[in-house]
Structure 1
Amino acid sequence: MEDRIICFLIDDDDDDQEIFSLALSNIDENIHCITANDGIDALTRLNTEDKFTPNFIFLDLNMVRMNGRECLSEIRKIPRLDSIPVIIYSTSSEQRDIMETKTLGAADYIVKPSSMALLEKRLEQVLRGYHT
């Protein structure tokens, strides 16, 4: 069980959740993807389930109830998650968004790619960068 990786995806788009989960399972069957539909649901889970500490958090920027910037700021206030990389996963490729989220504590930024193969390649790069 030690080599099982838990990724927590916070994204309000069901299709994006499904594609992301499939990409992770294609990369490695030991990667488990847990999803939350928005920042409020994610923070509730992260704040109330003491044992829930994912290896990676992937966060969409453009969500309705709480946007990704607000959620990122709140995640960074949870001490046990200090060392957990938060990777922004967004359709936005705006340099301002990338710089702003890194200032707020994001470890990386993935622009949602147009194909499954590109998504898998980018996720592999991110996962390898933290799990060597």
Structure 2
Amino acid sequence: MRKIDDIIIHCTATAEGRDVSVADIRRWHKARGFVDVGYHYVVYLDGSVHEGRPLAQVGAHCRGHNAHSVGVCYVGGLAADGRTPKDTRTARQRVALEALVQLLRLNFPGAGVHGHNAYAAKACPCYEVK
């Protein structure tokens, strides 16, 4: 298993309430030249957690930080206009993200938790990760 020292939270940068699947993200990422979906986990609007890229593989979600991190993405991140950054997490997504991060921190003691915006000039994940 890879050494993991960071859990990086992302959003899909899609309009509030728009359903997006791992298959959709995989298509988008492959169109950009990625080998596979860049995230290890994706949290859907209903709070269900879906595996993206296998955890044993290096992700493609945060330039310069992929080798030793886990990429977690929630569906959403933009207001209904599809342009304005917004914390669109549903109540179920909030609970699921919290539980997933807790589980990852148990599996990878000492790993930090950061939003993508801690490493890039982006609004992603469109809320303050603590």
TM-score by length of 1: 0.36
TM-score by length of 2: 0.36
More helix by share: 1
Q: Which has the higher contact order (CA 8 A, sep 6+)?
A: 2
